[in-house]
């Protein structure tokens, strides 16, 4: 069964992923994603009823930190990477009207 990716889907996924594709890129993305999904559909051949989805490969559990302050202030170095900084804040376009 062929997967057809519509313009709406590409537009929607673009909103989720915060990617803005050019017209050409959109066409390529439609084709690539359709092909990839057709390929991935191969998994439907597998009977996975009753199989537990495996997230962690090893049965590692209960890894904790104690509630003790260990970090100092490294704001200067961290903010040095910011595209725009002001008075110790990161600056972003206004988020409210």
Bridge-partner residues for 86, per DSSP? 89
**Residue 45 has which token pair?**
């051949």
Q: Which of residues 39-58 bind other proteins (CB under 8 A)?
A: 39-40, 42-44, 46, 48, 51-58
User: Which of 96, 76, 92, 72 has the alpha carbon at shortest distance from 84?
Assistant: 92
Q: State which residue, 4 or 28, has the beta carbon closest to other proteins.
A: 28
Residue written as token pair 């996975």: 48
Bridge-partner residues for 85, per DSSP? 90
Contact call for residue 82 and other proteins (CB under 8 A): yes
Phi, psi of 12 (to 5 degrees): -65, -45
Contact call for residue 4 and other proteins (CB under 8 A): no
Contact call for residue 25 and other proteins (CB under 8 A): yes
Residues within the interface to other proteins (CB under 8 A):
9-10, 12-21, 25, 28-29, 32-33, 35-36, 39-40, 42-44, 46, 48, 51-58, 60-71, 73-75, 77-84, 86-96
């Amino acid at each position: 069964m062929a997967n057809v990716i519509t313009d709406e889907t590409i537009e929607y996924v673009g909103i989720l992923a915060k990617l803005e594709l050019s017209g050409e890129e959109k066409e390529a993305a439609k084709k690539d994603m359709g092909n990839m999904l057709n390929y991935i559909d191969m998994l439907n051949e597998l009977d996975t009823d009753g199989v537990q989805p495996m997230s962690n490969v090893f049965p590692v559990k209960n890894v904790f930190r104690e509630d003790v302050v260990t970090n100092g202030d490294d704001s200067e170095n961290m903010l040095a990477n910011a595209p725009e900084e002001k008075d110790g804040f990161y600056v972003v376009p206004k988020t409210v009207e």
